[in-house]
Amino acid sequence: MLPVFFVLFFIFAIAGASMMSGENEGEVSAGGCSPIGGINQEKWSNGIENAGVFKGKQNTFILVARKYGIDPVLFAAIAMNETAWGKSRAVTEKNNPGGLMDPATGMATVRVYASLDEGLDAMGQTLHNRIIVDGLNTVEKLGNVYAPVGAANDPSNLNSNWIPTVYSIAEKLGGLTMNCAAEVGSDVKIVGDKMNYFD
């Protein structure tokens, strides 16, 4: 009877310690992932509400992300990074939230979209094709293609900060909700015309 008591005591002690050291809902787990497995509504709403032209676009990010099967927090974090939190000329004047370059100019300028919603949709499609179709399912893999270090259109070497900055912004928005581990299925298809970021 005494050994059973010690075993049970040991199990409950470990379980209690795990619960005590667990993350609070507002914290982010290692790797930038949401500890609640979904969007932290308070951080998500506050972050986007204070992000320039993205104010009021919380649901748009979610709907576009759902349409393309991508993480809304990653989607928004990249948009915040690419646009200085919704305040860059690319997004305020050209409705381009993703830093998507225009192949018609030899990638010298960003693409122009008729509306911010159109720009968000184009960015969502591009992220779908990179993350889902091409299998760039981690921030590191995606960053090496989406914002490669040494790119000709990055003379100030800002791309070297892309990966840590996207992680930092994702954490401010409550943490990533998808692709915390590689989770790409075999039933993937290209949505729309596959956009080549480097065309």
User: In angstroms, rounded to a whole number, what is the distance separating the alpha carbons of residues 31 and 96?
Assistant: 28
Its pTM stands at 0.75
User: In angstroms, rounded to a whole number, what is the distance separating the alpha carbons of residues 97 and 56?
Assistant: 15
Residue 148, Ramachandran bin (φ over 0: left; ψ between -120 and 50: alpha; else beta): beta
SS3 assignment, position 21:
coil
25-172: CATH class:
mainly alpha
User: In angstroms, rounded to a whole number, what is the distance separating the alpha carbons of residues 166 and 161?
Assistant: 8
Selection from 8-22, 24-38, 104-118 with the highest mean pLDDT: 104-118
Contact in structure between 36 and 25 (CB atoms under 8 Å): yes
User: In angstroms, rounded to a whole number, what is the distance separating the alpha carbons of residues 165 and 188?
Assistant: 29
User: In angstroms, rounded to a whole number, what is the distance separating the alpha carbons of residues 175 and 180?
Assistant: 10
The more confidently predicted of residues 194 and 44 is 44
Among 31-35, 112-116, 117-121, 191-195, which is the least confidently predicted range? 191-195
